[in-house]
Chains A and B, each alone.
Chain A
Amino acid sequence: MDVAIQQLLVGLSLGSIYALIALGYSLVFSTMRVVNFAQGHLVMLSSLIVVTLWVDRGWPVGLAVLASTVIVAAVALLLERAVSLQKSAAASPLVWIITTLGAAIVIENVAAIIFGKDPKPFPALVPGPLVRIGGAAVTRDSLLAIVVALALMGIIDQFLKRSIWGKAVQATAYSPWVPRLMGIPVGRVVAISFALSGAIAGVTGALMGPVFRDASSNLGLQLGLLGFIAVVIGGMGSTVGALVGGMSLGVLQTVLRGQLPPGAGTAAIFLALIVLLVLRPSGIFGRDWGRQASGNEGLA
């Protein structure tokens, strides 16, 4: 029982990271019908920036996280410009896939040059003794990750449902053309959703550090794929889906890690992704975005 609670809590803290990455995918996808393959790389970039500013340069941790969030949001905006430019010119999804993938590789290698190839140890954000819940003991950072993820997702959910910009995002998710006729500046909405997903990646990077213990330039792809699996479980385009998807993936991964021989875990996750996409091509809770995405991608 204690082991179960322990695994659940560890899984949830890992899952909050995945859930936030999934949310980032979801925001961009819903307004632009683009899977931003660099989402995990943005998270990786943020964790490196935070650890460098905070540990190496001695900035206050809050300021480091804020700076990193702003920088990563700016990178995301830059990426948005590149993708929008490409999408307006060519209809083939290959073009934006290659644009975001190419950007991912650039981010990874530039990060390796700036921050070095070796993993940087990431100290605890909230140092202190382990917190005991039931028979389980978890770090304060794990709880912080869960709490911040839940709070952030709640805020964004409310933003999407209540604010006028949130409603514009939802309208753009419904169709790229109709909102234009209603006077909604679709281009700006898309930019906002990209920047927002970048900011989320910025915060996620800080939360991820202590959970993964290291920040490293080669973590991007892995983070991105795991986040995408969370999207597949939860379904594209829903905050609750991202939350459920991320959390269940985190718990599943923690449980599997205890059961499988070392090394088989990663392969098992990729296998699970394939099986999942075969059985439910649009996610467990998702609507059939695949059909729409392959159809009329007219967003200019």
Chain B
Amino acid sequence: MRTTRLTQLMFVLGIGAVALIPLSGVNQFWIFFITVSIVQAILLASLNVTLGYAGLISLGHNALYAIGGYATAYFTVSIGLPVGFGILLGLAFGVLAGIALALTTLRARAVYFGIITLAFLFLTFETVSKWEVLGSFRGFPNIPGLSVGGYVFGRNEYYWFALGVFVLAMGALQQLSSSAIGRSFVAIRENEAAAASLGISPFGTKTLNLAVSGGLAGLAGALFAHLSGGIFPEAASFTNALRLFVAIVIGGTGTFAGPLVGIAIISTVDRFTVNWTTAQPIIFSGMLLGSLVLMRFGVVGTILTSRLRGLFLRLPELEIPVENFKRTKRRQPRAKRVNVLEVMGLAKRFDGVQALAGVDLSMEEGTIHGLIGPNGSGKTTLVNCLTGFLHRDRGRVVFQGREVKRARPHAMARAGMVRIFQHPETFGRLLVIQNVMMGLHLRSDRNLFRCMLPIPSRRRSEQELLGDALSVLSRVGLADRALLPVGSLPYGEQRLLEVARAMAARPQLLILDEPATGLTSIELVRLADLLRELRSSGMSILLIEHNMEFVMGLVDRVTVLERGECIAAGEPDLIQRDPAVVEAYLGERIPA
């Protein structure tokens, strides 16, 4: 989604007005106060990257901020490095701390992630308040201000410097949020499994996210240290963490303007309750709970979900390129067909249930291969083992001539094996077109630095990908649904959307787990046509389906599973007459 001209104009005018404040001759206290707010806004934007975009519940984000502040304090005061260098080191230490945090939260989900970040905050607080090298409880009281080549930055100059850094940071974040990396953050927030199935590594994405947000938080901490001339253990206190939640919850998570509004409100409250420190935490908690009751999405979120949204948010106008389908080039039929997938003796056991007992399957390139069998025969388990959502106990898998040792979901997607799930796994709160864009992840520019810069060529390729996503959508007949929230689609259309999303990734092997469930007869015909078309473009498709008419009219070969074993494989019409299959699958034949 894009911000409107109005939002952009408001941002530019706002920055312009703020930049002029020092010239109006207000007193130095206000200059200091606003600089602090600007620095805090950078910190809050950093929290927004983690909490808002990636949905990672970071409860101790100011630990990263304190680490940045302490880093620059140590290197400028104790080592004697120049201040500019110290600020960069603050950023670098923030990045490192973010990565360290990501490593420790490798397997932690949801609330456990939050607990680890909270423990990390207390650990940081204990360390800085006890460690003599960092001044223990006294902190660093005399940190020099910024000076570059003999030119000393006064209050006003530092104000403009902080504002400049802020504008650059917000610009970079704005670019990032509309890039493939920004989308991958949202993808792991909405649905990790679906993200992994499209080649987005959940762990890699979390690490990148925390590195970016750690860097920003570290930068904010360093800027603050040189602004106030001191850094103390309180920077890593829980009270400060609380202020951050209040600001982000009141402002609204996951939006560009949310943190700015949040910090403005919290700074104002700070200013007017400064002589009333006992009550401050209560006021903050009250605001927190109150805003949860009154405005669930914060000020900005509430505006965006109200009738005013049109003023601030613009849905992209999509032109549906019905005429120029970008069809993938047909591959020349090779003289000798090769096997795209080769499975030998694959076995998987769940406590006491032998779900798969040595399954063999081989699939020719450019064919549609049916995988059928009664409920509980192990079809989905086989797919999960192939795509790395489960780990097989035994057996070999060769995909495109390469042996797969240990499959991991995102790695299999990168290797060219993309699946859809048996039950819809959509990115729930996003629009239909945004769901399809996730399928384009592996084909987008994912270089962090290019994604943070306004590079025209990246913009153009993003536009092309958007066009691609639309043409894929129109191939499944959902073009007119592009701008609807995915949750509003009926079941069958959600299935088609998932097919479109997987197709968009242009895999070599597309695995469809019961795609026809819930489709109308018209949609079924369209899906069948689409799959034939994909096959003729050279894609291989493994199709799991219960609708026999659909399967048998479409596939080149069929493998039949029963109780985790392969009981037959071959041409569809032969399989349909195979007595073992008829008995196991369709029941005993009644003599005519």
Q: Does A106 contact B (CB under 8 A)?
A: yes
Contacts of A73 in B (CB 8 A): none
Interface residues of A in 79-117 (CB under 8 A from B): 82, 85-86, 89-90, 92-95, 97-99, 101-103, 105-106, 108-110, 112-113
Which residues of chain A are within 8 angstroms of B249 by Cβ–Cβ distance?
98
Contacts of A213-249 to chain B: CB distance below 8 A: 221, 225, 228, 232
Interface positions of B from 212 to 240, Cβ below 8 Å from A: 238
Given A109-B278, A113-B278, A270-B123, decide whether A98 and B292 contact each other with a Cβ distance below 8 A. Answer: yes
B107 near A278 with CB under 8 A, answer yes
Q: Is the CB of A294 within 8 A of B130?
A: no
Q: Is A129 interfacial (CB 8 A cutoff)?
A: no
Check B111 against A267 for contact (C-beta < 8 Å): no
Asked whether any CB of chain B lies closer than 8 Å to the CB of A74, the reply is no
In the complex, A98 Cα to B126 Cα: how many Å?
Answer: 24
Determine the residue in chain A with the shortest Cβ distance to B123: A270
Q: Does B590 contact A (CB under 8 A)?
A: no
The B60-118 residues at the A interface (CB cut-off 8 A) are 104-112, 114-116, 118
> Are B282 and A109 touching (Cβ within 8 A)?
yes
Q: Which interface residue of B59, B119, B126 has the most chain A CB atoms within 10 A?
A: B119
Digit string of B43-57 for contact with A (CB within 8 Å is 1, else 0)? 000000001000101
- B519 at interface by CB-CB < 8 Å: no
Interface bits B118-149 vs A (CB < 8 Å: 1, else 0):
11101100110010000000000000000000
Which residue from A102, A281, A293 sits with its C-beta under 8 Å from B289? A102
Distance in angstroms between the alpha carbons of A225 and B51 in the assembled complex: 22
Given contacts A102-B289, A105-B242, A109-B281, contact A97 B119 (CB under 8 A): no
Q: Is A35 an interface residue (CB 8 A)?
A: yes
Q: Is the CB of A266 closer than 8 A to any CB of chain B?
A: yes
Residues of B within 8 A of A131 (CB): none
**Main SS at interface, chain A:** helix
Select the residue from B51, B120, B282, B284 with max chain A CB neighbours within 10 A: B282
**Number of A positions contacting B (CB below 8 A):** 43
Interface residues on B, range: 35 or more
- What are the residues of chain B within 8 A of A35 when measuring CB–CB? 111, 115
Tell me the smallest distance from the CB of A226 to a CB of chain B, in Å. Answer: 11
Give Cα A97 to B296, complex, Å.
14
Distance from A99 Cβ to chain B, minimum over Cβ atoms (Å): 6
A277 touches B112 (CB 8 A): yes
CB atoms of A278 and B104 under 8 A apart: yes
Minimum C-beta distance from B118 to chain A (A): 7
Interface positions, chain A 155-211, Cβ under 8 Å from B, are: none
Contacts of B238 in A (CB 8 A): 221
Q: Chain B residues near A267 (CB, 8 Å)? A: 123, 126-127, 130
Q: Is B184 an interface residue (CB 8 A)?
A: no
Query: Any chain A CB within 8 A of the CB of B488?
Result: no
Q: A101-B59, A101-B245, A106-B285 are in contact. Are A281 and B109 (CB under 8 A)?
A: yes
Contact digits for A258-280, partner B, Cβ 8 Å, 1 yes 0 no = 00000110110011011001100
Contact for B285 among A89, A105, A266, A281, CB less than 8 A: A105
Per the bound structure, the CA–CA distance linking A168 and B318 in Å amounts to 52
Q: Is A298 an interface residue (CB 8 A)?
A: no
Assess A105 versus B109: contact at CB under 8 Å? Given A97-B59, A264-B130.
no
Q: A93-B111, A94-B57, A294-B110 are in contact. Are A273 and B288 (CB under 8 A)?
A: no
A102 to B104 Cα, complex, angstroms: 26
Q: Which of A97, A109, A221, A278 contacts B111 (CB 8 A)?
A: A97
Q: Is the CB of A277 within 8 A of B278?
A: no
A270 touches B286 (CB 8 A): no
Known contacts A225-B119, A277-B104; 14 additional CB pairs below 8 A are A85-B293, A90-B296, A94-B55, A98-B249, A105-B285, A109-B282, A232-B115, A267-B130, A270-B122, A277-B116, A278-B108, A278-B116, A293-B109, A294-B192
Interface residues of A (CB under 8 A from B): 35, 82, 85-86, 89-90, 92-95, 97-99, 101-103, 105-106, 108-110, 112-113, 221, 225, 228, 232, 263-264, 266-267, 270-271, 273-274, 277-278, 281-282, 290-291, 293-294
A-B contacts, 27 listed (Cβ < 8 Å) = A35-B115, A98-B249, A98-B292, A101-B242, A102-B292, A103-B285, A103-B289, A105-B242, A105-B282, A106-B285, A108-B281, A109-B282, A228-B115, A232-B115, A266-B126, A267-B123, A270-B120, A270-B126, A274-B116, A274-B120, A277-B108, A277-B115, A281-B108, A281-B112, A282-B112, A290-B108, A290-B110
